[in-house]
Amino acid sequence: MPELPEVETIRRDLTRTIVGHTITVAGAYDDMVLVNTDPDDFAQRLTGRIINDIARRGKVLIFRLSGDICLLVHLRMTGRLYTISDQEAVPEHTRAAFSLDDGR
């Protein structure tokens, strides 16, 4: 399980690189990662939202989006969050993916 310093490092890195960008496509490939929502609703609610801030509460990352919506992410035992260009293949075992307005 990622330890608290690792989660904070991920938060800082993502804050530096994705805050201010708009989610153009959102998708969950594994229903187990969604709590109290279905994949279509998940995609619809997040698409078009601007990432305003990324906060942390314990080991939970809080993505504050436009429209007063928050996306909560817990990395569980082996989770990772990272950015790739639209030219790179989505890694195996990806559970959710978001396309941003800059092509990542």
> What's the pLDDT at 80?
84
Give the domains, in start order, of the chain with CATH numbers. 4-100 (3.20.190.10)
Maximum pairwise Cα distance, the chain = 34
Asked if 87 and 21 touch (Cβ cutoff 8 Å), the reply is no
> What's the pLDDT at 1?
64
Helix or strand (DSSP H, E) at 52: strand 51-57
pLDDT tens string, the chain, 104 residues long: the values are 678 899 999 999 999 999 999 999 999 888 788 888 889 999 999 999 999 999 999 999 999 999 999 999 998 877 888 888 888 888 888 889 999 999 99
